[in-house]
Structure 1
């Protein structure tokens, strides 16, 4: 009997980054800049750079925040359009990776499916699926930059009579390249950022669009160009102009958020005043654009240059607010009895949260149960050593928080190197810390996943703050050995193993 072939040796890295989107590229830049002696690799499950901005290909896909804050601070966004199209963002991420040589560290079509931590070895062992078969990778530190939602598919509720619809049903996350929309009647189900993006884009491509929403969202028109940023780039060097434009937009965004929290009725009135002014001919504006919740209980929807209001005004799009009773062969029947005729139905019904890319994590043989843990500084998880995960702000651009996390990770790695530490782990908080939901948001995609998410605490460092200025000070200058993040030296077993190597 022939003995089985031995398993291939594990590949060793200091740091493994999972995901080659905004988070992964940002982390890689800081690693090679601030910790140049460390060997790192990026493992990307798909075949391209870009993450979200490579996955989403539906018409009109664009940023839902300005690119001066969504872009990388080390490579300022220079296009005049600051609410940018998805393909422009994808090219920007790709160009950034090439410019700094980060692309040479990416292993495409390599999916990390399991991660096992050993305190005795002070190492992660990762199981990777690739075209040549499964293999193992080992690393000291793991950065999960794979986002927060399931790339395999979005939330797609089943409607009564769905199988009877004679046309095509499409979810934006899997937009078919062969779908021609000109001359078609299209019903877009939803009221969030994806829906308000799709409606004007489809109308501009010659479709007759009806936005079908169960309940409204706050929709705010925003210029697609930043006039002050344009002037700053004319007057100042690129780096200085980029920093000022970034800080200006951070300050304005945070001010609007804090105003909403302090005076929600005033903010509601301010937003609705703008909506009425943008839709002077529409009857029932309040019915279609007044949510049941306060501003920033869910994310505001930005519409650049009022494009959604424009297509509603010119009649190429319509909006109805009602509950769907069922699908029919001809379209959608509402609870009111009204019919929405459609050749295509787009279910812009949201995302499915998928923390850490669905990687199966174990710590010293014990499976990681996210719902039993609490996050530390919005970047690590109690009881899980040498792991940082990327999760951006809900009230501001994703990259603002990710860049702070990446910088602090490098501070931690450098501190460990200088002090001879093998690993660090946030100690579990005591009973005095009140556990709260991770995301203080009423959005459906958050509520559906709440039971599977880690929690946050009632005070720092367990509290997830939605304030860039406070986080900037804490992440850049705060103590690393704060009494919660525990640093450990290598065990004798680990020292012996390293000496043998």
Structure 2
């Protein structure tokens, strides 16, 4: 019997924030389209899927900033009061309800992992999935919304086969949640927010914890109280006050229309002095509020890099009780060392210490490689996805580096590197290449800057970035991608009259893509260092950039003073899809 083939107008892969928004938006514009959403897990939600809701999990965001503009998280419905962080279960329920309300849920195929994506001979894409290996899906358009936190990076350790105790990544914490109740002493590896969360989950249950933060790594992440600065302002809101976004050098920053002010702040000695003072006050306030130096153990948790350079490794203390008191109380022992090997019930450190351990939880980050195979081989490079690269520096890279440092000379003074730093690699050869993979290089962080692929405009990547502005960016990217697919957005909708004109356009797009992606290497060495887009104070101008592409208004506050002083949030972007549809009708 011949293998069956299903035909679709659009396939979306991944049912987290970005995949749900992409599906909902495309259907809003194309209600009769044949659309399917493929999800490898058994529920929607991505990081908030039911398989990842370990005990005590909450959002870093407080209610009011982590919701779609057209689906508010009101207190009566969801039970989360102002000033509270959102429980993980509530977020899962919210995203499920969103999918139901906008008729996305009936189009989701659960437990359907994409294994390969093949380029069609005349455009479009052919997908093979784990759900039915004998069948294939053919789609005119494809959105990959698997994000950057779907593939756990779990290293292997010498002697781990003899450890004899649970050893797992923080992504799989729920599957091992019984260790909170059944184990008396555990080891946690990592300095990221997920490590802090795991430490807290065990500590409040009385489990003794050895917390290992690699001496060859990036150190502990920055942790902030929800309210910061001497004025006690809501940190999430501060990052979305237009005036304060100017304090971050941003290569796409002039999209907000205030390029002159930004140029003065970052291009003059006086301006840079003011910017440095702002970051010194913010970073100093966090150190003071957390009282790192008040105890030998909490002193080990002081970040190794300035707040200015940290990217989305900046996180929030969203715990019910004082985290640092648990450290001072002795239940949590912090070790700045590397794990050299494992033996039966023991974790061996580079410091010479040997830790008795009944569990090893690794908060060791994520792979940034694509979670499935693209066919033919080498297509990842054409798409702008991570691929094995040569050691040669391309001329365009050198050009944009010079451009970045010319505009923002402050970035040339990079923070001192950890002299002991070395990448955390796996002993399996297939994973050792992870560090050698190229960075993402997508135009607007979404589409390939490749002549052939731009001509067919049939693939886009949603959510291939890290930011604290998830919901707003997800819905804005979803609309941008829909307009891109429809060929109704400059420069993609402009008619090309000659080969020379095509070459000129592609060159401009490639320059823009490389400039924006390479910027992260200089701006956030304490974050993803340009491997993937990673930003905090730069999110609002990124949304401005996408809205300008869509020819929608960016200044939405109704007055100059409000525009620069009041924080932006989901409430400022209701009905943007209808705005675009109305504008599109007028343009016909």
Give TM-score scaled by structure 2 length.
0.64
2:127–2:136 contact (8 Å) kept in structure 1: yes
1:65–1:397 contact (8 Å) kept in structure 2: no
1:322–1:335 contact (8 Å) kept in structure 2: yes
Cα deviation, residue 280, structure 1:
7.6
2:126–2:136 contact (8 Å) kept in structure 1: yes
Cα deviation, residue 219, structure 1:
1.6
The answer for the alignment partner of 2:140 in structure 1 is 140
- Give the secondary-structure state (helix, strand or coil) at the position aligned to 1:412: helix
- Residues in 2 aligned to 1:308 and 1:88: alpha-carbon distance in whole angstroms: 23
Render the CA deviation track for 1:45-101: whole Å, top value 9, x for unaligned.
Answer: 222212222242444333233453332222122322643232221111112112222
Cα deviation, residue 413, structure 1:
4.2
The answer for the alignment partner of 1:232 in structure 2 is none
1:407–1:476 contact (8 Å) kept in structure 2: no
Cα deviation, residue 194, structure 1:
0.7
1:62–1:197 contact (8 Å) kept in structure 2: no
- Residues in 2 aligned to 1:254 and 1:56: alpha-carbon distance in whole angstroms: 37
RMSD: 3.9
- Give the secondary-structure state (helix, strand or coil) at the position aligned to 2:15: coil
2:210–2:334 contact (8 Å) kept in structure 1: yes
The answer for the alignment partner of 2:358 in structure 1 is 343
- Residues in 2 aligned to 1:222 and 1:52: alpha-carbon distance in whole angstroms: 21
The answer for the alignment partner of 1:282 in structure 2 is 295
- Give the secondary-structure state (helix, strand or coil) at the position aligned to 1:84: strand
CA separation of 1:61 and 1:353: change in aligned 2, threshold 3 A: farther
- Residues in 2 aligned to 1:337 and 1:220: alpha-carbon distance in whole angstroms: 32
The answer for the alignment partner of 1:96 in structure 2 is 98
- Residues in 2 aligned to 1:465 and 1:268: alpha-carbon distance in whole angstroms: 14
For residues 213-292 of structure 1, what are the structure 2 equivalents within 5 Å?
Answer: 213-214=213-214, 215-222=219-226, 248=237, 251=240, 255=244, 258=247, 262-263=275-276, 264-276=279-291, 282-283=295-296, 285-292=298-305
The answer for the alignment partner of 2:577 in structure 1 is none
For residues 41-440 of structure 1, what are the structure 2 equivalents within 5 Å?
Answer: 41-54=36-49, 55-78=51-74, 79-80=80-81, 82-118=84-120, 120=122, 122-130=123-131, 132-151=132-151, 154-175=152-173, 176-177=175-176, 179-182=178-181, 184-214=184-214, 215-222=219-226, 248=237, 251=240, 255=244, 258=247, 262-263=275-276, 264-276=279-291, 282-283=295-296, 285-292=298-305, 294-298=307-311, 299-305=313-319, 307-355=322-370, 357-362=371-376, 367-369=379-381, 370-371=385-386, 374-383=441-450, 384=453, 385-391=457-463, 393-415=465-487, 428-429=506-507, 437=518, 439-440=520-521
- Residues in 2 aligned to 1:66 and 1:178: alpha-carbon distance in whole angstroms: 25
- Residues in 1 aligned to 2:378 and 2:343: alpha-carbon distance in whole angstroms: 49
- Residues in 2 aligned to 1:253 and 1:133: alpha-carbon distance in whole angstroms: 50
- Residues in 1 aligned to 2:465 and 2:380: alpha-carbon distance in whole angstroms: 24
Q: Could you say which structure has the higher helix fraction?
A: 2
CA separation of 1:18 and 1:82: change in aligned 2, threshold 3 A: farther
Cα deviation, residue 354, structure 1:
3.1
- Residues in 2 aligned to 1:254 and 1:162: alpha-carbon distance in whole angstroms: 51
1:288–1:321 contact (8 Å) kept in structure 2: no
CA separation of 1:280 and 1:414: change in aligned 2, threshold 3 A: same
Aligned: 1:40 with 2:39: no
Cα deviation, residue 406, structure 1:
0.4
Render the CA deviation track for 1:111-134: whole Å, top value 9, x for unaligned.
Answer: 3333333473x432323331x443
Cα deviation, residue 19, structure 1:
1.4
2:309–2:526 contact (8 Å) kept in structure 1: no
- Residues in 1 aligned to 2:334 and 2:27: alpha-carbon distance in whole angstroms: 50
Cα deviation, residue 331, structure 1:
3.0
CA separation of 1:255 and 1:159: change in aligned 2, threshold 3 A: farther
Q: How many residues are paired up?
A: 433
1:126–1:136 contact (8 Å) kept in structure 2: yes
Q: Which runs of 5+ in 2 are unaligned?
A: 75-79, 251-274, 388-439, 497-501, 552-588
Q: Could you say which structure has the higher strand fraction?
A: 1
2:300–2:334 contact (8 Å) kept in structure 1: no
2:14–2:146 contact (8 Å) kept in structure 1: yes
CA separation of 1:347 and 1:464: change in aligned 2, threshold 3 A: closer
CA separation of 1:36 and 1:250: change in aligned 2, threshold 3 A: farther
Cα deviation, residue 296, structure 1:
4.0
Give TM-score scaled by structure 1 length.
0.74
Cα deviation, residue 199, structure 1:
0.9
CA separation of 1:335 and 1:254: change in aligned 2, threshold 3 A: farther
Cα deviation, residue 218, structure 1:
1.5
Cα deviation, residue 6, structure 1:
2.7
Aligned: 1:15 with 2:10: yes
1:25–1:97 contact (8 Å) kept in structure 2: yes
- Residues in 2 aligned to 1:156 and 1:253: alpha-carbon distance in whole angstroms: 39
2:162–2:342 contact (8 Å) kept in structure 1: yes
Q: Which runs of 5+ in 1 are unaligned?
A: 230-244, 457-462, 481-501
